[in-house]
Amino acid sequence: MEHKIEIPSTGILAKMKEGAENVHTKLQAKVESVGLKPSTLDGEGWSNSESSRNPLKRNGPFSEPNITMEIAQVLLSLLHAWGMDPDLDRVCEGKLGLLRPMVPVSFGVLSKGGYMSLLLPTWQTHLEPAGEPATKLEQRLPAELVHQDRLTKAFTARAHWELSTTLTSNHLLAVVALANTLMSMNNATFVPEQERNRKMHRPGNRAGVNWNKAEEENEEMFTVQQAQIKQGWSLLATLHCVLLPDKVTAMGGSKTFKRLQVEMMARRWQHQCLEVREAAQALLLAELGRMGPKGRKALVDNWSQYLPMYSTQEPIIPQPQNHSPPPGSPTPVVETHPEEEDEEEELAEEICVARKPSSVAELKRKQTTAVVLLGVIGAEFGQDVAANNQKRDNDQRRKSSVVEGFGIGNNNLARLTSMALMHLLHAPSSPKLPLHTSLRRAAIDLIGRGFTVWEPYLDVS
């Protein structure tokens, strides 16, 4: 079944287009104020007043490069790990139409207060690969140009992922989300030469056409080409979602590689944007699997202290508390305000897990993150942990590094996590916890994913 070549109005590309149009409006006002000839944005690209009156009006989202797709092309070109997989690089340039950067890029991070941290990597001249033989083309080029090209390759392949955990998380999330979005479209490529093919193979242009032998061969070639493009986007997403950490480690960056923040992916487990949601889930599951038992156990130890605790006799409706709980008692649940899920926080520097929460809002974020994160670990890795524990005696289990709490021998964590998920599911709608929130959706999803783990502790009657 073919997909229509459309950009969904609620998807990530539509949000990019909306932001671009806002910027264009400001630029248009500035241009008019200085007396220059304004240009128009017809929804599919930039054009001057004459071209906007051209009878050959642009038609269709892929008929000519539009502002949304140009932004996607620039983003993917700047964020892709060039030099990590030479074969994929050739596919990205030849089939997908990405543009290889000529110099290292300076990335920045916006904080919640609107401040920007800008990282300048161009001083890292020691990143040049040692002992790499010069190609025939490099032998004919100036030495300064060859040196700059090698520095750029070293930065995009390795140093890019050694700057900040926040940058790694946001960049991987953006690349995977955009690649999956473009993979779901028909012939979604940035190569200009394929414009004619896109026009000829629209459903409206192909209706009622009698194909001759040559046209049938062209149709077969187009089908093969479309499959290659989809495969290219799939390979791009796989590299950044699954293979990138191992490849950076193989290049000597095991100690300096900044892994993505699993808590950031957990907060986006049920993001309102479908593409971001799917990318966050894929990245989180891949990272949890890469951690191994030791890494997951350390993660559980860090976050279990923030898990809200309930008893079976505790009412669902939260009661107001005018006193502080005694030391050592379970942490009461604190619901999340909808405004705290503002998308502006997505680019903010995440709070370190090691230190204690300094405010009520921070405690709320940590509690909701702990519920989702431990729910994911229990749903995806709780069953195999239980099966492994059946085969080990107490001494072996004590020496092992499996995640304790989801197995038969120690089920306390599974019980507490299941109660927290059920509380989010059954809690009535309130200003603090509305009916339709990403946290409730995450609870529903995780209960279904790990039902065999939670079932012994749930009242399903």
Q: How far apart are CA 217 and CA 225, in angstroms?
A: 12
Residue 330 has pLDDT above 50, yes or no: no
Give the model's confidence band at 299: pLDDT under 50 very low, under 70 low, under 90 confident, else very high.
Answer: very high
The pLDDT value recorded for residue 447 is: 93
Q: Which of 341, 337, 340 is nearest to 433 (CA)?
A: 337
Mean pLDDT of 369-377: 94
Q: How far apart are CA 97 and CA 101, in angstroms?
A: 13
- Beta carbons within 8 Å of 81's beta carbon, 6+ residues apart: 156, 157, 160, 161, 239, 240, 244, 247
The pLDDT value recorded for residue 173 is: 97
The pLDDT value recorded for residue 185 is: 87
The pLDDT value recorded for residue 310 is: 66
- Beta carbons within 8 Å of 311's beta carbon, 6+ residues apart: 419
pLDDT, tens digit, 9 for 90 and up, residues 185-194: 887 888 877 6
For residue 333, the 8-state DSSP code is P
Q: Which of 270, 264, 243 is nearest to 449 (CA)?
A: 270
- Rounded to two decimals, the pTM is 0.72
Higher-confidence position of 115 and 222: 115
The pLDDT value recorded for residue 26 is: 67
Q: Report the percentage of the chain scoring pLDDT > 90.
A: 29
The pLDDT value recorded for residue 443 is: 92
Burial of residue 52 (number of CB atoms within 10 Å: 0-12, 13-18, 19+): middle
Residue 431 has pLDDT above 90, yes or no: no
Higher-confidence position of 33 and 277: 277
Q: Report the percentage of the chain scoring pLDDT > 70.
A: 61
pLDDT, tens digit, 9 for 90 and up, residues 64-82: 457 888 899 999 999 999 9
